[in-house]
Amino acid sequence: MTTIKEIAEIAGVSHSTVSRSLNNSSLISEKTKIKIKKIATELNFEFNSSAQSLNTNKTGTIGIIYPEQTAEIRMSVYLTSLLNDIRGILEKELIDSIVSFPKNRFTMKSNIKRLISKKKVDGLMIVHSDINSEDWDYIRESRIPCIFLHYMPKLHMKAEVDFVSTDHFVGGILATSHLIQLGHKRIMCLTGNKTEEEVKQRISGYTSVFKQNCLPVDTKLIFEGDFSFESGYNIVKQNIDIVKTVTAIFAQSDLMALGAIKALREIGVKIPQDIAIIGYDDLDIGSYFLPLLTTIRQPREQIAKIGCERLLQLLNGKQIHSHQSKFVQPRLIIRETC
C-alpha cells in the first residue's frame, strides 16, 4: 500500500506538504497540490477519510437537502438532473455527498439536525423551498457553511444566507413576450404551487408583459398545478371550454407542457396551428416529442457550478461574513410549438 512518505519522496517535498496538499490546505500552492494529487492518483493512493477527519475536523462530505417530491419520478426530472450536475462537480473536487430529505420519513425527526450534530458533513447545500424555522435556527446556531440552490430562501432567511437561483421573473417575461410578439393576446398560464416564490416570480413576469403591452390580465386564465405531466394534462381536460377561448399556453414546466399537448391532441387541437405552447426548464425530454417543445431554459449547469464554487469558498473560510445572492439569467429556446 502506498504511503504519504513514498509520495513525498517521489515529489521531493516534505511529509507535511503531502498531507496538507491532500487536505486541500490553503497554505499550499495550487501547482504543488495538483502535482501531489496527480502522483497519489497514479499510485492508487487511498486517503484515509477517518484520519483526515481526526486531523482537520473535516469529513470531506457535503449534505444536500432535497424536496420530498424528488422520490416521485413524475415530478422530479429537473431536480434529478440538477443533482447529477452538483454531484459531478463535487466529485471533481474529491468531495463526497449525502443526499437527504429534511425529515426522516419514518421517525419524522430532523435529518438536518442529525447530519450536523453527528458531524457527518462539513457544509449544507439546500435545494428545498421550505426549511422550517427550528431547522433553520439549528443551522444558523451551528455556523455550518450553507447555501440555498435553485429555490430561493424564505424572506426572513435572505439576509443571512447565500443563494443561487434562476431569475424566474425574467423567465416569465421571456415566455410571455415571445407569445405576445407572435400575436397572442389570450394566453393560458399553468403554474406550480402559487405559494412558492419561484412561481410567484414567473406569474409576476407573465402579468407584467400584459401590462407593458396595454393588454388586460385575465386571472381566470391562471391555473395552479404541481409541475407534473398529469397536472398539465388534467388542467386542459377539465377546462376545455376555457381552452377553446385561448390561442396560447405558457406552462411553467416542460412536463406540464407535454401533458397539456397530450390533452389537446385528444380533443383535436393542433399545435401550433390552433394553440401555441411554451414550456419551462428545457429538459432533454422536450426534444423527444414532435413538435419539438419551445421552452425557457433554466441554466442548470451554471447554477450548480456557481453554487458549488461558493460553498467551497465558505468551507475554506473565504468571504464567510458577506452573504451573496446570485440570479442566473434564463434563455428562450425556440423550437416548433409556437
Per-residue model confidence (pLDDT) at position 240: 94
* Angle value at C-alpha 157, between 156 and 158, nearest 5 degrees: 100
Domain ranges (residues) in the chain? 4-56, 61-166+300-330, 168-297
**CATH match for 4-56 among 2.60.40, 1.10.260, 1.10.3470, 1.10.12:** 1.10.260
Distance, C-alpha 318 to centroid of its chain = 23
Do 61-166+300-330 and 168-297 have matching folds? Answer: yes
Torsion angle of the four alpha carbons 306, 168, 136, 93, in this order, in degrees rounded to the nearest 10: -20
Q: What is the pLDDT of residues 184-236, one digit of tens each?
A: 999 999 999 898 889 999 999 999 999 999 999 999 999 999 899 999 999 99
SS3 255: helix
Is 3.40.50.720 the CATH number for 168-297?
A: no
| b/e code 21-30 from CB counts within 10 Å (16+ = b) | bbbbeeebee
| CA–CA dist 193, 259 (Å, integer) | 17
Max distance between CA atoms of the chain, in angstroms, equals 79
Predicted confidence (pLDDT) per residue in 142-156, tens digit: 989 999 999 887 755
The domain defined by 61-166+300-330 carries CATH number 1.20.1250.20: no
* DSSP codes, 96-139: EEEEE-SB-TTT--BHHHHHHHTT--SEEEE--S---HHHHHHH
Beta strands across the sheet bearing 96-100: 96-100, 61-65, 123-126, 146-149, 162-166, 325-328
pLDDT at 271: 95
Which residues of the chain register pLDDT less than 70?
A: 1, 26-27, 46-57, 70-76, 155-159, 318-322
d(CA 170, CA 148): 20
pLDDT of residue 54: 38
pTM of the model: 0.78
CA quadruple 119, 124, 129, 132: dihedral sign: positive
The C-alpha atoms of residue 327 and residue 295 are separated, in whole angstroms, by 19
Provide the phi-psi class of 75: left if phi over 0, else alpha when psi is between -120 and 50, else beta: alpha
Contact between 174 and 332 under an 8 Å Cβ cutoff? The reply is yes
